[in-house]
Structure 1
Amino acid sequence: VIAEAIVAGGLSLLHQEPYDVCITPEWLETYRQGQIRVMNDINTEFITQCHQQMLRDLDIRAKLLAPIVVEDRLWGLMLASYRDIPHNWELEEIELVQQISLRVAIAIQQANTYQQTQIEIHQRQQAEELIKQQLAELKIWKNRYQLASKASGQIMYEYNLLNDAPAWVANMAEVLGYSDSECPRNLAEFMDIVHPEDRDRLYSLIQKTLDQKIPLFTEYRLQRKDGHYIWVEDRNQVVLNDQGEIVLVIGTMVDITVRKQSEEKLCKLVQKSEKLQQRLSLVLKGANDAWWDWDILEDSIYYSARWFSMLGYDHEEFHLQSETLWKNFVYSEDIDPIRDSFNQALNDKNIEFIELKFRLRHKQEYFIYINCRSYILRDETGKAVRVSGANTDITKLVQKEEELQATLNQLSQFNQKLETRVQKRTVQLQNLSSRLELAIKAAKIAIWEWDLRTNHTIWDKKMYELYGVEPSEYRDCMEIWHRSLHPEDVVRVNEILQNKLKDGKEFDIEFRIILPDGNIRIIQSYGIIERDSQGEAERVIGVNRDITELKQAEQKIKQQVEREHLLRETTQRIRQSLDLRTIFNTAAAEIRQLINADRVGIFKFDTDSNFNYGEFVSESVVPGFISALEMKVHDQCFGERFSQDYAAGK
């Protein structure tokens, strides 16, 4: 209640919020249509008990209710009432209240219009003030641009395509020595000061820029006023009109002559360095030594190709770091002695050369003896910053010494030592076998072997478990594999196997199998092919691993990434549009693609129908479905039964 006039002693309802659970949307609709409610006595009127009790609580015995309708919407009600006595409302009283309610509605509408007008005036004033601020800031930035252009030392220009007129904004005199009256006045005059060797290339680039409406970025030479040429780096951007045509080109030129001269000097130094490196390579090749260089400050090591070939590797097989070398290549008993000697030499400022002997592991799993001679480079404080060295393979020399020493050893103890070594090897092999068995069980790997000469296949226990069969059920393991292989993978897998058996060394393939219970699993199979002296495949040893869960996880991650990508794309497209229909259509299409549905639609309610009527304003539907666009939907029960739940966000 926002206004009232009552008799003395009456109950004031000002600023109260009466609530009547018996009032329904149908009652409110009758008031919106202009109906007046007249009650001479609430005790004799046919009304609900809850409504009757509410009127008593409000100290009302007789009442007259007239609606206040503003712009065809029920704004409120005007109430005239008697407290404790019945009252027969006269026609004049009813018309009076009705006329007053109409005038109140007109006044409210005028007040709303006035308030909206004041808001628009205020917004216009704010916009004008913002324009003034932006103009002031634009003037400040213009001054900053002019100062920055002057301070940058770059030639700044604008080229108007409509009249073929370049405007040299800044630093033309400082860089090229031309005054304003001497600057090129059109494209032809500008091309005259371009170096003859660069003109055709530059002209082609300019034409390409104009044809394709793309920025230009290039380097060429320009002639100064004194006749000398300088190198410039030219960058520009094109300005398009509303029709998409180029009207202006804005760009900068930077003097890069010093950089070009430095690049030329660097190129000569690189060529000279390559020649020196070639000579050094020939010297090292002639000596058959391996060269290495360790940059201590960056902790990076360079190894020559001979370093790798000395150990049986190709240069491209891997990249070594210092810790990798110690852990994987140096013989375990040599690590601590040579590391101590090497660190001692690095810390002693008086040591420049160091020579060490140690063993390195060959690719074929044996060790070779190395004699390493190194030179230590130090800075002005004596700290070691670089070490370069050469490795010489002295394995044959050491072997000769060992053979001589072995001959001098006591021959009588040979058999005993041999037996001890055999026992030791036997224990090592047993330990290795146990570790291998534990590793295979932990990794859930199944092992198989295929003799190609007899076409006989051997499976371990894990293979039978992997394929869901018992060893006693089949005589031939190959039969199990053929029966289990998914029909869609048969041709592909057999082609891979046949090709690999012809000239391959190994294979790694994935395929599906169907278990006896109907489940489908994904298997990764890796095999090594052994060949005879003629190169013919004679045996294959391999392993199988169930990777079904891994593939399913990868697929879920891929689907989640695709869904998130589509959601971001949809959000971005909606934000870039101000047209509601474009937003609706984009949202419907992207959501249908995201959830892979047959139809996604946007339905708009007719609010005057109490949410019982409406129509589809946008949809995305697969081909073959009937469109629901502009289809009128009528459901007399929807507004009463479901609208409140949906309005609450359910």
Structure 2
Amino acid sequence: MGKKNRALLVLSNCNDALLKSTGETDLLQEICRVCVDDGDYKLAWVGFFENDPVRPVRVVAQHGLIVENVISLTPTHGQDPFNLTFSTKKPVILQNICKDKVFASWQETATKYGFESFISLPIVIDGNVTGVLALLSSEPFSFKTDEVFLLNKLSNNLAYGIKALRLREEQNQLEEELRISEGRYKLAQRSASIGSWEWDLSTDEVFWSDEIFHFIEKQPDEYAPSKSALSDFVIPEDRAVVEQVLCNAQRTEKPFDVEFRIRVISGNLKWINAKGNVIKDTFGKPILVTGTMQDVSHRKEIEEVLKSTNDKYKLISGNSTDVISVVDVKTERFTFISPSVLKLRGYKTEEVMQQTLADVFTPDSYQKAKSYLQQSIPDVIDGQPSISFVMELDQVRKDGSIVPTEITFTQAYDDSGNLQVISIARDITQRKKSEMELREERNLFQVLMDNIPDGIYFKNLKSRFLRINKAEASIFGLRDPAKAVGKTDFDFFTDEHAQAAYNDEQEIIQSGKPIYNFEEKETFPDGHIRWISTSKLPFRNSKGKIIGTFGISHDITHRKQMELSLQQRVKELETVYQISNRIRTGETVKELLQDLLAETLNVIQSSDGGIFLFEHSENKLVLDAAIGWFKQLANLTLEPNEGINGYVFSTNEPYIAQDIAADQFLASKVKNVVPQGQSGGFFPIQCSEGIIGVLDVYVPHPRIISENEQRLLII
């Protein structure tokens, strides 16, 4: 048990080193130090395999007993443990170096430094053994099965850590190369007055390079790029051309090249040449438009001639996806309508020209639009500047169906002095659908947040709460989860726990690496504690940037209490066995066993059970403690291989019986005594000297011993 605990301590401290290490050399040295200082090994070293027939292992880190030349502890020829580790990918153990004949050539060196046993653990990265972790002990037969299992797990974790650090170093190099490349690319763009852009058709998000912001005389942090934002800078006469080119590019999926004018912040007019391509997904659907824009004002200065205001009719006569219209205020009839109305409402242009606003909208939308226009038109008539406004109105299609639209209205006088209403209508059916889906998703998320019994939280970069669910609020003693917003763990936990949680979250923010199923103890200012299994992850925005952390925690306090209680029972049972070899007063031992059995049954809420201990003098399993109906079996003895208890004692394996009375291994001498409707578990009782007895635990149907209880009862 002591060596297993030693290995557990080494594994735990090495895992901490893996989490905190930033360099491979430091990591390997720290692992060796932990193995020696915390694991009580005499020497630990790490070596990597090299293509060298004379000395195939290169030592890169070591700690422990000072050896003039650690490499002398690595055999240079023949069948050595490192060759076996390399070829089998498994640990190789020498339990007694001085008596091992296979590696006799190594005995003199090992004996000189007082080494009695040795283990070579493979470091496997991407399926290949790249090195070994070697541990040497001053005691023979030092490496037991449980300890070897944990040490092998350590070598696996070490391999993962080495790989992660190497990948991180490679990523840092790539990021530096990318930074330099981007700097050169930006310099080239500025020199040629060329900027790059992207338009995501699925999200309508737009990206501009710095040079495009330079075109419009804006800083990147002053202006949010968008499709409509670019249109704001394009002069009205050229907007339809740009829209038409983009639409045609999406339809034909061919590269495009268009020139148009923009008016920038200073008021200057610039000519822009835009080139691009439409990118499709695997199903052939256009998903992205990407290209470049170049300031060609100097070349266009001698070509550009200002167009008259009548050119607006030419600009809006193309195949625009939006429906652009002009309506006379007095008659409410159309004086212009773009051909795209056919796609929106199913009417041809000439049909719409015979309609009024009342024919276009549903009754409610018509009254809403008319009311808004009546409020704004007097201001325009009085000479005040026209103000654009946006409304969501339902239009009637030719087939009678309703289509939701977003319409931008503005007023202007035509050449004859008649007040006109200019509008741009856009089909927002898909947007409405997306908004509804988003509301449903938010509702589902809220239902989850309100009803899941586990605590959920979201924090910002400073580890302040952005949001928690009801379960987490209850843990904090809050009726309203919103009361936690802006607070930190320091407001609810002891400083010790709050600081540890803060450190974990800051590490996640810096590294981007999540923590899964981590068991930790929460301590509160009033003194009570709570054990949880928690997962903590980086919280990213839609662009993948880390903006905080979030996590979920599951209460495992009861399980932890059971584990701690049964661990105490283990120590007590070992004490009983050791005392029984010395104390001849059987009455004292039996009383102690009886108390231990009662405590054990109480932990798993059982009322029937017994403890059989093996008596060497009689070569029998003797019932030394009994509770419940087991008292009927007082003074019962069994052969070491008799019944279920004999089976467990001889195999050293736990046994679960669904129906004890009908079980095939049940001893014949107790078949008439065991009550019907009982299930149970039989668990070997072990100490450092081996198996010493069997613990019987019975529960009534329909209950059975759970897997968690089984794990706790294997003592």
Same fold (TM over 0.5): no
Q: TM (normalized to structure 1)?
A: 0.24
Q: Structure 2 length normalisation: TM-score?
A: 0.22
Q: Pick the structure with greater CA Rg.
A: 1
